[in-house]
Amino acid sequence: MRHYETVDRLVPVPIYCQIMWIYLLQGISLGFAAAVQPGPLSTYLVSETLKSGWRRTLPAIFAPFLSDGPIAALMLLLLSRTPTRLLQLMSLPGGVFVLYLAFGAWTSGRSSAPGPDTATRGSRTAIKAAVINLLNPNPYLGWSLVLGPIMLKGWRETPLHGIAFVLAFYATMLAGLGGLVMIFNEARALGPRINRALIAASALALTLCGLYLLGQGVAAFWR
């Protein structure tokens, strides 16, 4: 029987493949959950889709690739040293920024003026989404409490396990966010009045997310 060499032992190939699938399934499950669960990034994508359509919003689904690299590197380096309270305090600037985006969604929904050039708007949308992710404590907590430990465990067995887990996570999350954008893009075809109502609803959702983040930051500050 063939064996595959891990960091500390030889593992039979069938067992190695089973272990690989465990990491792939963990990555797929966590990536799907990250894409569909309500949060500042997904809410912002919905808001931008309703305002500008899928062509201008779709580049923003790549925001985690712009922001998660530094987050992952930082969390893996400081995995066992960063106080949770410090991460929670990041909700304060995150909440302020999300409230700013909510105001922008509300004012654009009331205006009938045409939007800016598609390429420029798409790039700005992606940058805003990346800033949201950087100021959102969830990626920091996720990498410090869930993703980081799983990746490190797999990497210590063999680097392929850690790489497979990360690739499965981001591929699934990317597909999920893209699906979210396309689903809500269909809602724009319901007419201008319905579209304005949906934009207002998305602005309200962004406001609630921003207030929630501010509440988390204030609670962490007074602990």
pLDDT in tens, 20-73: 888 898 888 888 878 877 678 888 888 888 888 888 888 889 888 888 888 888
Tokens 């500390």 sit on residue: 8
Compute CA distances 29 → 34, 102, 148, 161, 194, whole Å.
Answer: 9, 30, 15, 16, 34
- Percent of the chain exceeding pLDDT 90 equals 7
Cβ-defined contacts of 37-43 (< 8 Å, 24+): 38/205, 38/209, 39/136, 39/138, 39/209, 40/94, 40/98, 40/132, 40/136, 40/206, 40/209, 40/210, 40/213, 41/129, 41/132, 41/133, 41/136, 41/177, 42/177, 42/180, 43/202, 43/205, 43/206, 43/209
CA 82, distance to chain mean position in Å, is 21
182-195 average pLDDT score: 73
- Amino acid sitting at position 117: D
Q: Say which residue, 83 or 207, is predicted with more confidence.
A: 207
Rounded Cα distance, 95 and 216, in Å = 9
In this structure, what token pair is assigned to residue 166? 């990360």
Rounded Cα distance, 203 and 214, in Å = 16
pLDDT at res. 110:
64
Residue 15 clears pLDDT 70, i.e. is over it: no
pTM attached to this predicted model = 0.68
